[in-house]
Structure 1
């Protein structure tokens, strides 16, 4: 690719875990393949061995480097030191595009991109919320303050990239219709992810995979498994894959409900490896934008049960029987229905051809690249 078409892109986000990390990895693969020079700035204190291995695999691709600094989830005194370090790294990278993901990454990218522009650099400032600050309640003082800040930050934003219609609608309702450029670009999957995955002969009934924290609903999953066992008259089994601040508490919850013998807790692993461990993938989240795990499971041919929240109905269809309320009673009913007729339940889910048309990584990267060039006036 000619140099005039090659961009210097820096992605800034807080924690190298979950959907944001997956999203950035996909973008980087596509952007590097397109001839762009890419770098990452993220938190140094988040993630475990699995995330470290994933970052290690990426290092060789990142011409602009991989920089890790301490970034707190909540605003605090440590932000000043982190901000100064981040600005110095960004300035040294001389980016054409600063793309912030999530609340903290979005703040850093837009603030420091604006400082660079004030000093004469031409840099495009992009922001992808990925839920982030939009999860706050508009009725609370904290929520109103955060949404006021989001509104003010639009003055420093060239493009907001939403990953679902739901996220776009929440932003309009809580913050207001964007007064800067914006676009809806769905998350995408690579062709290799449409290869079917077959569970092993000793597969459990259900799989939870994700961060072990309240937002992702692992406690709902455990309660629903207990209820489902009582409803079905047999001990339903599960595997829970992931790590996070609530992991020990969840193990205690399983023990207290006498379900510890029915649930295996495993540390993070690649999604397709985890899909082999169970027959049905469950996403019991309390809040989401457009979770990759739903797309990955469907593409791998695995039945899915998911909360009827966020952008999930945009994947499964508004009337899908796979959608449940993010509460144990509703989820347990869906789990029993699915496990009693796996083949029939599978036929009610979107096929791979539908997914390929709407959620491809090629389309995601191509559309985002077009937004980058448009923001730069090229």
Structure 2
């Protein structure tokens, strides 16, 4: 890409096949909006999904061209590839960047069309690491689970999902070393063409949004002195909310008046509301629904909890640290690469209700410790997980 670096306004196509809003989509938007317009002309292509309307509106308001396609589910692969080849001939990008929030996804046709067109391709893989994959990863690396590896690499579905896109890509970017390592050991990603670029956020912007604790609590109807725990995540089974609710029932027995705020929405909401009722949590738990002001919610809370069963490198942990809040989270995926046990927060085993309850209780009972962890987290995220650092590292790869 050295020749491209000398060009002005090189057309750069970003593709995303996201079905819902999350961290991977926020990373995509930030990368597009942070492009140097003296060097790059960013353009975004994505299927037309209702949940992605806020992303489209945000990009259009910033002057970014966005092309939406009808979802291609059910179409033969040949027709999908042909349609994207025609599109690529029309927009003539210099490079195709593919944001892959999960695997398997439907971006393979785009990758193959770009490869047939002779275009350089960069994959950005945000898929999450389930709690049992760390164990399987260790088995594969030591040669004890050859059958698991063969299953992972066999079949037409895995050929299209993993092997062909990876073979076509110039670079494959991972937000966390955990996902990079498993991709190499289990799915034979070529080590030399993989890079870890941690997710980044606007640290100062989050800190400013989280500064008004009194106003944030007033807006939520919370008393100034009430201990408040925040969990901001999709209401999906892999996020571990059911374990959190049982943990909060334990915490509530020893911390009078404490409150849990659940920011997020999803198909699991009725089930979680029923669990909260069964545990007699009553008004101790507030289901806030989907929110676009999570940093402001950070201002109202004393700590963030993320009890996920699978993760990559969650932005919400970075936002909590930027807001000066300690984090209690599952030791899964890339979370231990962000949260330092005993320094910026507490790590517990996925699904460990007792561990969650103990970690939350300890921090609510010791405000000085929580404050010190929050300050350490703020320093760590500013040093290692800034938006500027992520932008510079990724765009440097695009130009190589």
Which TM-score bucket, shorter chain as reference? 0.7 to 0.9
Task: Indicate the residue corresponding to 1:368 in structure 2.
Answer: 394
Match of 2:270 in 1: 248
Where does residue 228 of structure 1 map in the other structure? 251
How many pairs are equivalent?
361
Question: Shift in Å at residue 235 of structure 1?
Answer: 4.9
Which one of 12, 18, 21 corresponds to residue 14 of structure 1?
18
Aligned-pair Cα RMSD in Å: 3.0
The answer as to 2:112 corresponding to 1:111 is yes
2:361 aligned partner: 336
The whole-number CA distance in structure 2 between the counterparts of 1:91 and 1:303 is 49
Q: Which residue in 2 is equivalent to 1:259?
A: 281
- How far 1:302 moved relative to its partner? 2.0
- Secondary structure of 1:316's counterpart equals coil
**Corresponding residue for residue 330 of structure 2:** 307
State the secondary structure of the residue aligned to 2:392. helix
CA contact (8 A) 1:239 1:277 kept: no
Q: 2:93 aligns with which of 92, 95, 99?
A: 95
Corresponding position of 2:35: 31
Deviation at 1:12, TM superposition (A): 2.1
Give the drift of 1:132. Answer: 4.9
Q: Which of residues 173, 185, 190 in structure 2 aligns to 1:161?
A: 173
Contact 1:110 1:126 in 2 (8 A): no
Aligned with 1:185 (options 174, 197, 201): 197
What's the secondary structure of 1:59's corresponding residue?
helix
On the 8 A contact 1:15/1:42 being kept in 2, the answer is: no
Structure 2 unpaired stretches of 5+? 137-147
Q: Give the secondary-structure state (helix, strand or coil) at the position aligned to 2:211.
A: coil
Residue 326 of structure 1: SS of its match in structure 2? Answer: coil
Within the candidate set 122, 131, 144, 1:126 is matched to: 122
The farther-off stretch of 151-160 and 98-107 is 98-107
Deviation string for 1:130-164 (max 9, x for gaps)? 12588896649874446655234322111100111
Confirm whether residue 316 of structure 1 aligns to residue 339 of structure 2.
yes
Q: Which of residues 33, 42, 49 is equivalent to 1:45?
A: 49
> For residue 69 of structure 1, what is the aligned residue in structure 2?
70
Deviations 1:172-214 (A, max 9, x none): 2211351662211111122422334343251661111111101
Moved over 6 A (4+): 133-136
Structure 1 residue 342, shift from structure 2 partner:
2.5
- What TM-score results when the alignment is normalised by the length of structure 1? 0.84
- Counterparts of 2:191 and 2:337 in 1: how far apart (Å)? 25
Give the corresponding residue for 1:207.
230
- Decide whether the 8 Å contact of 1:12 with 1:41 is kept in 2: yes
In the alignment, the residues of structure 1 paired with residue 294 and residue 243 of structure 2 have an alpha-carbon distance, to the nearest angstrom, of: 21
Structure 2 CA distance, aligned partners of 1:271 and 1:283? Answer: 14
Tell whether the 8 Å contact from 1:125 to 1:158 is kept in structure 2 after alignment: yes
Q: 1:153 to 1:170 in 2, by over 3 A?
A: same
Specify whether residues 173 and 147 from structure 1 end up closer, same or farther in structure 2 by C-alpha distance, changes over 3 A only: farther
Question: Which digits, 9 at most, give the CA deviation of each residue in 1:339-358, with x for residues without a partner?
Answer: 11123123135343332221
Structure 1 range deviating more: 106-115 or 154-163? 106-115
Q: Distance in 1 between matches of 2:257 and 2:81?
A: 51
Q: Which runs of 5+ in 1 are unaligned?
A: 118-122
Give the TM-score taking structure 2 as reference length: 0.80
Aligned to 2:211: 197
Offset at 1:89? Answer: 3.9
